[in-house]
């Protein structure tokens, strides 16, 4: 089993739809959870960051972490064509310092 | 002002050659990283440096060697390039965890093609 798993997509939705992106992981030591957005031929950029379990909202984006299920989600409300990108989840633990582990990414297309 | 910059943006070279990719960050971060992103978009960490000391060295071939002349720079040297080295290489930086920041800032990537 890979350390972090993510459905690669592609996922196509109409403009205005609610998008749900998910990752599962196996390492119970992970404490910090991030979502990155990567546009084609660009570097990843941080969207959301959460610590431990719970929800965090930022504009149209909501991140959820369920540590008991080892499952994290990113919801995008009122999706826009400009949201079309690859979304990568990432996580790390407290003990291993700088080791960020990334999921393989989900490619999202929001159709106008 | 570019936070994390990489040069070159594109690199096309032949098998067996030696090449370097440079990275600089102006964020004052303590830790820098090199990642490899393959054709399936999987982003995998190769190295990280914290205050000029290597703290993670994943199972990458020893043909790859990171060099950090100072806290703001982390260069990647690749010897005897192979076809399988073709990928996009990203540099990133972050503050030391525990000092208020857990996010990484990525450079624009260097697209390496080995022919």
pLDDT in tens, B5-20: 999 999 999 999 999 9
Question: Which residues, numbered 10 to 39 in chain A, qualify as contacts with chain B under a Cβ-Cβ cut-off of 8 Å?
Answer: 32, 34, 36, 38
Mean pLDDT of B85-113: 85
Interface test with B, best of A29, A33, A44 (most B CBs within 10 A): A44
Q: Which chain B residue's Cα is nearest to A104?
A: B42
Q: Which chain A residue's Cα is nearest to B87?
A: A41
Structure tokens at B28: 């004052």
* Count of CB atoms situated within 10 Å of the CB of A82: 9
Q: What are phi and psi of A109, to 5 degrees?
A: -120, 125
Structure tokens at A75: 């919801």
Mean pLDDT of B89-112: 82
* Count of CB atoms situated within 10 Å of the CB of A65: 23
pLDDT, position B49: 87
Mean pLDDT of B35-64: 83
Better-predicted residue by pLDDT, B5 or A94 = B5
Interchain proximity B103–A92, CB inside 8 Å = no
Residue B108 CB-density burial (10 A; 0-12 exposed, 13-18 middle, 19+ buried): middle
Mean pLDDT of B29-51: 86
Q: Chain B contacts of A34, Cβ < 8 Å?
A: 102-103
Residue B101 has pLDDT above 60, yes or no: no
- A89-99 CB burial, b ≥16 within 10 A, e <16: bbbbeeeebbb
Structure tokens at B44: 């995998």
With H, G, I as helix, E, B as strand and everything else as coil, classify residue B85: helix
pLDDT, position B95: 81
Residues 6+ apart with CB under 8 A from B59: none
* Count of CB atoms situated within 10 Å of the CB of A61: 17
pLDDT, position A18: 97
Beta bridge partners of B70: B73
Q: Identify which of B115, B112, B114, B105 has the alpha carbon closest to the alpha carbon of residue B8.
A: B112
Do A100 and A50 contact (CB within 8 A), yes or no? no
pLDDT, position B54: 81
Strands (E) in A1-112, as ranges, are 4-6, 11-14, 19-25, 30-38, 45-51, 54-58, 61-66, 71-76, 85-93, 101-102, 106-111
pLDDT band at A85 (very low <50, low <70, confident <90, very high): very high
Tens digit of each residue's pLDDT (9 = 90 or more) over A12-42: 999 999 999 999 999 888 888 999 999 998 9
Among B40, B103, B108, select the one facing A34 at the smallest CB separation.
B103
pLDDT, position B18: 97
**Cα of B76 to nearest chain A Cα, Å:** 17
Q: What is the DSSP letter of A61?
A: E
* Count of CB atoms situated within 10 Å of the CB of A12: 12
Tell me the residues of B at the A interface, defined by beta carbons under 8 Å apart. Answer: 4, 31, 33, 35, 40-45, 48, 50, 55-56, 90, 92, 94, 96-97, 102-109, 111
Residue A96 has pLDDT above 70, yes or no: no
Structure tokens at B5: 């910059």
């Amino acid at each position: 089993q890979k350390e972090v798993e993510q459905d690669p997509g592609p996922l196509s939705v109409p403009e205005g739809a609610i998008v749900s992106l998910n990752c599962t992981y196996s390492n119970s030591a992970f404490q910090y959870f991030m979502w990155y957005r990567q546009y084609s031929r660009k570097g990843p950029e941080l969207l959301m960051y959460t610590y431990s379990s719970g929800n965090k909202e930022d504009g149209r984006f909501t991140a959820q972490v369920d540590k008991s299920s080892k499952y994290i989600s990113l919801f995008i409300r009122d999706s826009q064509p400009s949201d079309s990108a690859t979304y990568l989840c990432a996580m790390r633990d407290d003990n291993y310092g700088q080791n960020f582990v990334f999921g393989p990414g989900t490619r999202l297309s929001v159709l106008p | 002002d570019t936070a994390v910059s990489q040069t070159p943006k594109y690199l096309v070279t032949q098998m067996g050659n030696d090449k370097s990719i440079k990275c600089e960050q102006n964020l004052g971060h303590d830790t820098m990283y090199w990642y490899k992103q393959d054709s399936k978009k999987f982003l995998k960490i190769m190295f990280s440096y914290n205050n000029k000391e290597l703290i993670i060295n994943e199972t990458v071939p020893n043909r790859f060697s990171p060099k950090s002349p100072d806290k703001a720079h982390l260069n990647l040297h690749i010897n005897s390039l192979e076809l399988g080295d073709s990928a996009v290489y990203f540099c990133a930086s972050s503050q030391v965890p525990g000092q208020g920041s857990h996010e990484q800032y990525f450079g624009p990537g260097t697209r390496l093609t080995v022919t």
